[in-house]
Amino acid sequence: MTERETWATRVGFLVAAIGSAVGLGNLWQFPFKTAANGGAGFVVFYLVAVLLVGFPALLAEFVVGRRTHINAIDAFERLGHREWRFIGVVGVATGFWILSYYNVVGGWVMRYILGSATGAYFGDPAAYFGAVSSGPEAVLAQFLFLSVAVGIVALGIEDGIEKATKLMVPSIVILMIVLAAWVTTLDGAMAGYGYFLSPDLDVMLANAGSVVPFAVGQAFFTLSLGMAIMLTYSSYIDEDDDLPFDGGVIVVTNTLIGVLAGLVVFPILFANGIQPGAEGGASALFVATASGFAQLPFGRVLGVLFFAVVLIAALSSAISLLEVSVAYVTDNYGYSRPKLALGVGVGLFVLGLPSAMDTAWLTWFDTFAYSLFLPLSVLAMVVFVGWVLAADAVDELREGAGDLSRFGPLWLWVLRLVVPAGVLLTLVLGFQDLFLGSDPAAFAPF
C-alpha cells in the first residue's frame, strides 16, 4: 500500500478545516434559522451551544483522528475498541446522507449566480425558485456541483484539498467583508442590525424550549461534527500540532463568518421591507435575498458576489465530506483516488436524486439529519472519548498543546457531562417539536 498522505503545512490543515466548517450552514441556514426563531435571541443560544457543546465535541474528533492517523471507521479498532466501530460507520453514513442533498442546494447556488448575472429572477423571485429548485434542471445543476467537488478530491490531500482551500477560504473572508461593508450603505440597514443583534430577553426565555434544539443542531452542523469529517482531517496531521489552539481558531473563524452572513443578509432584507421568517421551508432565504437584490441598485453585482461566496463555501465543505468516504476506501484497499472519488460521487448523485426532483424530499432528508442522525452521532462520539478513552484522550489533547494543555481535565469533564446533557436535551426537545406539534417546516432549514 502506498504511504498515507499528510497535510503539507499546519496552516493547510487549519484552512481545510475552516473550509469544511464554513459552508451553507453559515451563509444560509444560520441567517434563516435566526429569522425563523425570532432573531437575536437565537444568536445568543447558538453562541452558547458552539462554545459549550460544539467546541469540546470538535476536540473529541480531533483527538481520535490524530491519535490513530486512519479513517473514521478503522480508527476505533486501532484504539483497541473494535466494538465502538459503529460510531465511525454512523458518522460516515450521516455525512453521506447530508452530502446527498447538500449537493442539490450547491446546484441551486450555481443557478443563482447565473440568475443574478442575467437578472433572471428579478421579475418574480418566488417563481424563479420554483423553476430551478427541483426537476431536471436541478438534477443537472447538482451534477455540475458534484463534479467540481469530485475533481478537487481526486487530486489528493495536498494537491487537491489543501491547495483549493488555501484559495477558497481567504476569498470567502474577503468577499464577506466587502459585502458587509457594502450593505452598511443601504437605507434601512439599521433595522436589520437591530433584529440580528439585540435580543429581547423575555422572548428568548419564553421560546427556549423550541430554540435550543435548533441552536445545538446548528452548532454541530456548522462545525462539521458528527459526520466524521473533523476526525478524518485530523488524521492527516502531526503530533506537534496544538489541537486546542487549532480548534479555537476554527471555531472563532467559523462563528465570525456566520455573524458576517447575518450582517449581510438582514440589512438587505430590512432595507427592502422584506420580513425575515415570513417565507418558510425550502425557499426561505433564496427567495428573500433574491427579492432584495432585485430591488437594489447594482443588485446584479451584489447578487453575483453573494452567491459566489456561498458557492465557494459550499464547495469547500462538500470536498471535506467526500474525503471521508474516500479515506476509508483508500486506507483499506489502496484503489486510485480519482476512481474512488468518482465512485463515491456516483453514489451521492443517485442518493441525491429524490431531493433534486422534489424539495419535499430534501426537507425530509435534512430534518432527519438534524433532529436525529447528527445528535446521535455526536453523542456516541463524546461518550466514547469522554468515558472510554478518558485519560488517553487528555494525553492526546495535551500533546503539542503548550500552555493550553492545562485545560485538559476541564475539557474531559465538559465532554463527559455538559455535552451529553446538551445533546440529550436537544434530542428530546427536537422530538417533541417534530412529532408533537409545532410547524415541521420550521424544523427544516431549506
Beta carbons within 10 angstroms of residue 214's beta carbon: 27
> Binding residue for ligand PFF (CB under 6 A) from 24, 63, 231, 304?
24
Q: Does 367 bind ligand PFF (CB under 6 A)?
A: no
Place of cell 503530533: 239
Does 221 bind ligand PFF (CB under 6 A)? Our answer is: yes
* Displacement of CA 289 from its chain's centroid (Å): 20
Stretch that binds ligand PFF, among 4-12, 126-134, 221-229, 353-361 (CB under 6 A): 221-229
Span interacting with ligand PFF, options 1-9, 78-86, 200-208, 312-320, rule CB under 6 A: 312-320
Our CB check for ligand PFF shows the closer of 16 and 412 to be: 16
By CB under 6 A, name the one of 19, 23, 91, 244 that touches ligand PFF: 23
Nearest to 249 by CA among 60, 11, 47, 28: 11
* Shortest spacing between CB 29 and ligand PFF, in angstroms: 7
What are φ and ψ of residue 349, in 5° steps?
-60, -45
Find out whether 374 and 221 touch, Cβ atoms under 8 Å: yes
The reply on whether position 20 binds ligand PFF by CB under 6 A is: yes
Torsions phi, psi of 370, nearest 5?
-70, -50
* Minimum distance from residue 426 beta carbon to ligand PFF (Å): 17
- Residue 26: all three cell numbers together: 453559515
Helix (H) and strand (E) counts for the chain? 24, 0
- Per CB under 6 A, 100 contacts ligand PFF: no
Of 31-39, 118-126, 315-323, 402-410, which part binds ligand PFF (CB under 6 A)?
315-323
Whether the CB-CB separation of 322 and 99 falls below 8 Å is answered with yes
**What count of other Cβ atoms lies within 10 Å of the Cβ of residue 358?**
16
The answer to whether residue 102 forms part of the interface with ligand PFF (CB under 6 A) is yes
From candidates 68, 165, 320, 325, binder to ligand PFF by CB under 6 A: 320
Number of residues that bind ligand PFF (CB under 6 A): 16
Q: Which of 100, 165, 283, 317 binds ligand PFF (CB under 6 A)?
A: 317
Lookup: cell for 301: 453585482
Task: Using CB under 6 A, pick the residue from 222, 330, 359, 377 that binds ligand PFF.
Answer: 222
The window from 161-169, 281-289, 314-322, 346-354 that contacts ligand PFF (CB under 6 A) reads: 314-322
Under the criterion CB under 6 A, does residue 375 sit at the interface with ligand PFF? no
C-alpha cell at 8: 503539507
Q: Which of 15, 17, 70, 98 forms a contact with ligand PFF (CB under 6 A)?
A: 98
Residue with cell string 429548485: 133
- Nearest 5°: CA angle at 52, between 49 and 58? 95
Q: How far is the CB of 352 from ligand PFF (least distance, A)?
A: 11
Q: How far is the CB of 155 from ligand PFF (least distance, A)?
A: 18
Q: Which of residues 128 and 233 has its CB atom nearest to ligand PFF in the complex?
A: 233
At its nearest, how many Å lie between ligand PFF and the CB of residue 95? 7
Among 13, 16, 17, 25, binds ligand PFF (CB under 6 A): 25
156 binds ligand PFF (CB under 6 A): no
Rounded to whole angstroms, the Cα distance separating 165 from 201 reads: 39
99 touches ligand PFF by CB under 6 A: yes
What is the rounded CA–CA span in Å between residue 281 and residue 176? 25
User: Within 184-242, where are the H helices?
Assistant: 189-197, 201-206, 208-222, 229-234
Calculate the alpha carbon distances from 112 to 6, 109, 116, 311 in Å.
36, 5, 6, 10
Question: Is residue 51 a contact partner of residue 67, using CB atoms and an 8 Å limit?
Answer: no
Say which residue the cell 465532554 belongs to.
415
Rounded CA gap, 17 and 316, in Å? 9
Q: Which is nearer to ligand PFF, 220 or 411 (CB)?
A: 220
Residue 318 near ligand PFF by CB under 6 A: yes
Residues that bind ligand PFF (CB under 6 A): 20-21, 23-26, 98-99, 102, 221-222, 224, 317-318, 320-321
